[in-house]
Chain A
Amino acid sequence: MMTARGKWTQLAVLALVIALLPLFFPSGYYYRVGALIFVNALSVVGLVILIGYAGQISLGHAGFAGIGAYACALAPEHLGLHPGLAVILGAVVSGIMALLIGRPILRLKGYYLAVATLGFGILVSMVLTNERALTGGPDGMSVEDLGLRALLRDLGWRLSGGEFWYGVSGFVLLIGAWLALNLFDSPTGRAMRALHGSEVAASTVGVDVARQKLRAFVISAVYASVAGSLLALQNGYITPDVAGFMHSIEMVTMAVLGGVGSVLGATLGAAILTLLPQVLTVFAEYEQLVLGAVMIVVMIFLPQGLLPSIARRIRGRGE
């Protein structure tokens, strides 16, 4: 099992990768891809808490990403809020939504839970698509700049858009990973993992099962929301696709691909699935084919996910 030292090792590995990766970038474009990976990884770390710790599933977390993204697009325009504060507003709204719908939804299990969350996600994306007057409909809307980069420039620190967002997303991911790893060994984290093992057993030793599930759901919703906000801010533009069914599926796949119990694994999963379309641009028509095949093959042959399976193999050889 993961120990306190494991926590710092994981964080150090993550920090080193984020810091050293740019040394290998042949062009500025890679900063953009890196930033996108970190944003995806952030929402996937949220899912690690929900799926990996607490053992619940959600096929609708893109709905929360949508709320976060559109908070950043709408609040500055209609409420005059600074985009940075809009991120917080989005997170609060997502958290409250998760609290409200989580209570009835989380009584469900397995497929029923999957479909209920899926229904929620699709309803959010439908509202974003249909309320044209507010959201610009399927064409999306532009997002106000954060203004932080201009501030840094005035202070004499010139960064390209890619470099800036690489740094910001990497930093937020580190904080998210740190919080998630702290949670793992906390009483709450232990309670979540206990109910993952067996709800009945957990409740007999005094774990408030419903409450802990709800906590995991709300926390992961906030992660997804912040990731959605960052995505909107760094692209300067947002469409309802961010809340779409396919995005929810991608998030869960990233989490399970890397290893749903581990924060580092989740980041690896996010990196692979984010890079896949970039690598396949030449074979754009094959993207879906490859994505589907990857999902099936990994689930059959590496059911624990990539990172835990690889770790086990290395450990097995060492013995």
Chain B
Amino acid sequence: MDALLQFIFSGMTVGAVYALVALGFTIIYNASDVVNFAQGEFVMLGGMITVFAHQAGLPLPLAAVLAILATAALGVALNKLAIEPARGAPVVSLIIITIGASILIRGATQLIFDKQLHRFPSFSGDDPIRVMGATILPQSLWVIGGAVAVFVALWLFFTRTLTGKAVLATANNRVAAQLVGINTGWVMTLSFGLSAAIGALAGVLVTPITLVSYDVGVALALKGFAAAMLGGMGNPKGALLGGLLLGLLEALTAGYLSSQYKDAVAFIVILGVLFVMPQGIFGHKSTERV
């Protein structure tokens, strides 16, 4: 029982990171129908920039804010320089562009910073908290809390603010949104910036636990994508639940079945979901117009 609880804690922690990556995917996908394979690199940048800004003497909170802002700027640049010029390109081209961007960002990070593993101190110390025979790191609470906070903030943004509603309108029907005067180009820019910032935040939160190096992004992007798909592509609620569920499944697999194959869970889940219910848990069945 204690072991189970322990697995659940670690699963929730990892799952919260997947959820944040999946939320990032969702925002961009809704605004532009682009699946951004560079999403994992935003997480990596959040961690790396914080590490080096902190080493350069900035206090940790300031370093984290700097990392999030810098990554958001990069997200905007990605949209302006690579996605917008390729508007209307087939899916294969867009996949290659975003994968190219992720390779480019990785290559640049490795040149500008280095190839080592890094971490910075946890926000509230490293003394584990005991809960019913299991333990949880204070940093895990930060990660899980961060994911929930981002979700709630996004929900408020999309339902309570005019800008958020403009994003939703663009997601629903770009042409109609343009007709009622929404600047859809600006919505895209906003979405990329927001999505990059959320990714970077995930990186800032999780680095004290999992460490960061230039190449952690690929796996995170793939698993975040699996999480988004599990919950239903384009649905924020699905992204949150899909992420947590995937984290739990991984932790339980590692605990009870095989730690070697824990990384396989995400892909078995993807294939299973796609075969059985391609629309995911919360997705709608889509019909194609001829």
Query: What residues of chain A have their CB less than 8 Å away from a CB belonging to chain B?
Result: 51, 57, 59, 104-105, 108, 110-112, 114-116, 118-120, 122-123, 126, 130, 200, 245, 249, 252-253, 256, 260, 285-296, 299-300, 303
- Are B91 and A110 neighbours in the complex by a CB distance under 8 Å? yes
B107 partner residues in chain A, CB cutoff 8 A: 285-292
| Complex A-B: 19 CB contacts under 8 Å | A59-B95, A108-B278, A112-B229, A112-B274, A115-B274, A120-B267, A120-B271, A123-B267, A126-B261, A252-B92, A253-B99, A288-B106, A291-B103, A295-B100, A295-B103, A296-B82, A296-B104, A299-B93, A303-B89
Say whether B117 faces chain A, with CB atoms less than 8 Å apart.
no
- Are A114 and B95 neighbours in the complex by a CB distance under 8 Å? yes
Say whether B105 faces chain A, with CB atoms less than 8 Å apart.
yes
- Are A296 and B264 neighbours in the complex by a CB distance under 8 Å? no
The residue that B96 contacts in the complex, of A108, A118, A295, with Cβ under 8 A, is A295
Say whether B101 faces chain A, with CB atoms less than 8 Å apart.
yes
Complex A-B, nearest 4 residue pairs according to Cβ-Cβ distance, in ascending order: A292-B104, A295-B100, A288-B107, A289-B107
A122 partner residues in chain B, CB cutoff 8 A: 222, 264, 267
B181 partner residues in chain A, CB cutoff 8 A: none
Whole-angstrom CA separation of A291 from B103 in the bound complex: 7
Count A-B contacts at CB 8 Å.
Answer: 123
- Are A116 and B271 neighbours in the complex by a CB distance under 8 Å? yes
B152 partner residues in chain A, CB cutoff 8 A: none
Say whether B198 faces chain A, with CB atoms less than 8 Å apart.
no
Whole-angstrom CA separation of A105 from B264 in the bound complex: 18
Per DSSP, chain B at the interface is helix
The residue that A51 contacts in the complex, of B92, B100, B101, B106, with Cβ under 8 A, is B92
Query: What residues of chain B have their CB less than 8 Å away from a CB belonging to chain A?
Result: 35, 82, 85-86, 89-93, 95-97, 99-108, 110-111, 218, 222, 225-226, 229, 233, 260-261, 263-264, 266-268, 270-271, 274-275, 278, 290
- Are A299 and B89 neighbours in the complex by a CB distance under 8 Å? yes
A300 partner residues in chain B, CB cutoff 8 A: 82, 85-86, 97
- Are B82 and A130 neighbours in the complex by a CB distance under 8 Å? no
- Are B110 and A57 neighbours in the complex by a CB distance under 8 Å? no
Whole-angstrom CA separation of A303 from B106 in the bound complex: 24
Whole-angstrom CA separation of A104 from B97 in the bound complex: 27
Whole-angstrom CA separation of A245 from B110 in the bound complex: 20
- Are A292 and B290 neighbours in the complex by a CB distance under 8 Å? no
The residue that A111 contacts in the complex, of B35, B93, B106, with Cβ under 8 A, is B35
Whole-angstrom distance between the Cβ of A108 and the nearest chain B Cβ = 6
- Are B92 and A296 neighbours in the complex by a CB distance under 8 Å? no
- Are B274 and A299 neighbours in the complex by a CB distance under 8 Å? no
- Are A296 and B101 neighbours in the complex by a CB distance under 8 Å? yes
Whole-angstrom CA separation of A130 from B290 in the bound complex: 45
B89, B96, B110, B229: which has the most chain A beta carbons within 10 Å? B96
- Are A285 and B111 neighbours in the complex by a CB distance under 8 Å? yes
- Are B86 and A119 neighbours in the complex by a CB distance under 8 Å? no
- Are B99 and A249 neighbours in the complex by a CB distance under 8 Å? yes
Whole-angstrom distance between the Cβ of A205 and the nearest chain B Cβ = 14
Whole-angstrom CA separation of A303 from B93 in the bound complex: 7
Whole-angstrom distance between the Cβ of B219 and the nearest chain A Cβ = 9
Whole-angstrom CA separation of A252 from B264 in the bound complex: 23
The residue that B101 contacts in the complex, of A104, A286, A292, with Cβ under 8 A, is A292
- Are B274 and A108 neighbours in the complex by a CB distance under 8 Å? yes
Indicate whether A292 sits within 8 Å of B103 (C-beta atoms), given known contacts A285-B110, A299-B97: yes
Indicate whether A115 sits within 8 Å of B270 (C-beta atoms), given known contacts A289-B111, A292-B104, A303-B93: yes
Whole-angstrom CA separation of A115 from B91 in the bound complex: 12
Whole-angstrom distance between the Cβ of B148 and the nearest chain A Cβ = 26
B266 partner residues in chain A, CB cutoff 8 A: 119
A286 partner residues in chain B, CB cutoff 8 A: 107, 111
The residue that A292 contacts in the complex, of B85, B90, B102, B260, with Cβ under 8 A, is B102
Whole-angstrom CA separation of A104 from B106 in the bound complex: 34
Whole-angstrom CA separation of A296 from B94 in the bound complex: 9
B97 partner residues in chain A, CB cutoff 8 A: 295-296, 299-300
Whole-angstrom distance between the Cβ of A99 and the nearest chain B Cβ = 15
